[in-house]
Structure 1
Amino acid sequence: MHACSNNSVETRVLLHFVLWNVKGLNNLVKRSKVFSHLKSFKPDVMFLQETHLNINSQKRLSCKWIGQIYHSRFNYKARGTAILIRKGVPFEHSEVISDPNGRYIVVVGKLFNTPLILANIYGPNWDNAQFFLNFFSTLPDLNSYKLILGGDFNCVLHPQLDRSSVRSSNNLSSAAVAINSLLRSYGLSDPWRVKNPTTKQFSFFSPVHHSYSRIDYFIVDNQRLPRPRSQSY
């Protein structure tokens, strides 16, 4: 889980964003625990990955304190991404871009009258640079919108810092090369890494490799979006 609080210059309102790979929400008991835990963070916007909900079960994302639900489904055993917005948050959507393979959901709209894109992504767990190139090509013109992108990228962007174990080769994957190039091209950054340039902190444990890694990120606009005030894993 990755939490990020962002202070809007235009409104001086502090908004709390949370992202979490929930690894399935079909089970009632687990779903209840997930939403109870989410609520304890007092989030305004939630990015969930691996919801594992199909068209008939995505209503399970409904909750009394959630006002808006945007979901990209695949099937009840895999993938699925969702953006949930708390009641009272004045976000007005104008367009929704939903991946038919359940890998991402993009919501275009306005927040406090500021044009904004919310994008949640669940990257492939294999080296697939083309996926990220295709994803960025679906985004509307970033010169006209601020962007908050979050999700489980399934990709280490800085091997020496974002892995707990030292491998014989710390070469970047082709996906990481593509992502880093896209961030530079679009003027985007990983604000946690900007604030913690040498810190090692992780979001995922691999029992197969017996190692930790940081593969979950929030990505924000360098120039037009104020830097988040606080972030934590």
Structure 2
Amino acid sequence: MSASYHDAPLRVLTLNCRGLNVPERRTHLLRDLRKTQISVAMLQETHFLEGLSPKLRNRYYPNNYFSNHNTARKAGVAIILSADLDFKELDKIFDTQGRFLFLKGTIADKLYTFVSIYAPNTNQARFIRRILRKLKGFAEGAIIMGGDFNTPLDPQMDTSTSHSSLPASSIHSIRKSLSEMGLVDCWRALHPDSRDYTHFSALHNRYSRIDYVLIQQEGLS
């Protein structure tokens, strides 16, 4: 997803890393971020343990923020920012279970709130409602949320089978909560009739799009 700050592109990525404790994986990630000129990377499943986060920075990406699980190497989210942004941090909120991270600050005097989330594979609707309640009291400026929702937001279009194992009522609840915050699925807004997927479930033999970048409606332009 691309927005802009002054005359430069603001390129945002969300990515489920499936663990970054192996040094080579961290090296490859930073290399790929640089190659694709990512400004802000919102990561999930870093699998870092609180207090023992390995190095995940270089001169191109010196600013990184982590929300790690406090007792195990599981879950974990992060936000990595490019050195080109001149980001000035104002505030942040972590989660002791490594499920979400809120980061607020300015880029070129414009206020942003970045959110990286990793939803559990059960009770997703309850999780999203809880996160958004917290976010409502924290967020200022333009909200950019990226993460692994562990469910498609539109099963008809976001799965290869046109249905989800999550009850329709739960998906409706998630979409309603996001709508109340004015958050819009960027990719779907730009590709209303397209299908593309980010995850394959061998158990269900189903491709699905469960990873999203969301921004407020007024930011789509």
Which TM-score applies when normalising by structure 1? Answer: 0.86
* Counterparts of 2:7 and 2:162, CA distance in 1: 42
Please, which runs of 5 or more residues in structure 2 have no aligned partner? none
Partner of 1:182: 177
Cα offset, 1:128, TM superposition: 2.9
Kindly indicate whether the alpha-carbon contact (under 8 Å) linking 1:159 and 1:171 is maintained by their aligned counterparts in 2: no
Partner of 2:105: 109
Q: Counterpart amino acid of 1:124?
A: P
Once the two structures are superposed, what CA deviation does each residue of 1:41-83 show, in whole Å capped at 9, x if it has no partner?
A: 1111111100001134324212232121110001553100000
* Counterparts of 2:49 and 2:183, CA distance in 1: 32
Pairing of 1:126-137 with structure 2 (within 5 A): 126-137=122-133
Cα gap change, 1:28/1:197 in structure 2, threshold over 3 Å: closer, same or farther?
Answer: same
**Residue identity (%):** 30
Once the two structures are superposed, what CA deviation does each residue of 1:194-220 show, in whole Å capped at 9, x if it has no partner?
A: 111121110111122221100000100
Pairing of 1:184-223 with structure 2 (within 5 A): 184-223=179-218
Partner of 2:68: 73
Structure 1 segments, 4+ long, off by >3 Å, are 140-144, 166-171
* Counterparts of 2:120 and 2:165, CA distance in 1: 21
Cα gap change, 1:144/1:104 in structure 2, threshold over 3 Å: closer, same or farther?
Answer: closer
Which TM-score applies when normalising by structure 2? Answer: 0.91
Cα offset, 1:177, TM superposition: 1.9
Cα gap change, 1:144/1:25 in structure 2, threshold over 3 Å: closer, same or farther?
Answer: closer
Cα offset, 1:35, TM superposition: 2.3
* Counterparts of 1:36 and 1:12, CA distance in 2: 24
* Counterparts of 2:72 and 2:56, CA distance in 1: 13
Structure with more of its chain in helix, by fraction: 2
1:158 to 148, 154, 164: 154
Say what the alpha-carbon RMSD is for the aligned residues: 2.1
* Counterparts of 2:58 and 2:168, CA distance in 1: 41
Q: Counterpart amino acid of 1:147?
A: I
Cα offset, 1:140, TM superposition: 4.4
* Counterparts of 2:173 and 2:7, CA distance in 1: 35
Kindly indicate whether the alpha-carbon contact (under 8 Å) linking 1:68 and 1:85 is maintained by their aligned counterparts in 2: yes
Cα gap change, 1:27/1:182 in structure 2, threshold over 3 Å: closer, same or farther?
Answer: same
Kindly indicate whether the alpha-carbon contact (under 8 Å) linking 2:116 and 2:146 is maintained by their aligned counterparts in 1: yes
Kindly indicate whether the alpha-carbon contact (under 8 Å) linking 1:161 and 1:200 is maintained by their aligned counterparts in 2: yes
Pairing of 1:1-233 with structure 2 (within 5 A): 4-8=1-5, 11-74=6-69, 77-141=73-137, 144-167=140-163, 172=168, 174=170, 176-223=171-218, 225-227=219-221
Cα offset, 1:187, TM superposition: 1.7
Cα offset, 1:27, TM superposition: 1.1
- Residue 27 of structure 2 aligns to a residue whose secondary structure is helix
Higher relative contact order (CA 8 A, sep 6+): 1
Cα offset, 1:12, TM superposition: 3.1
Range moving further from structure 2, 135-144 or 22-31: 135-144
- Residue 11 of structure 2 aligns to a residue whose secondary structure is strand
Please, which runs of 5 or more residues in structure 1 have no aligned partner? 228-233
* Counterparts of 2:106 and 2:49, CA distance in 1: 28
Kindly indicate whether the alpha-carbon contact (under 8 Å) linking 1:190 and 1:220 is maintained by their aligned counterparts in 2: yes
* Counterparts of 1:76 and 1:32, CA distance in 2: 23
Cα offset, 1:171, TM superposition: 5.3
* Counterparts of 2:164 and 2:109, CA distance in 1: 50
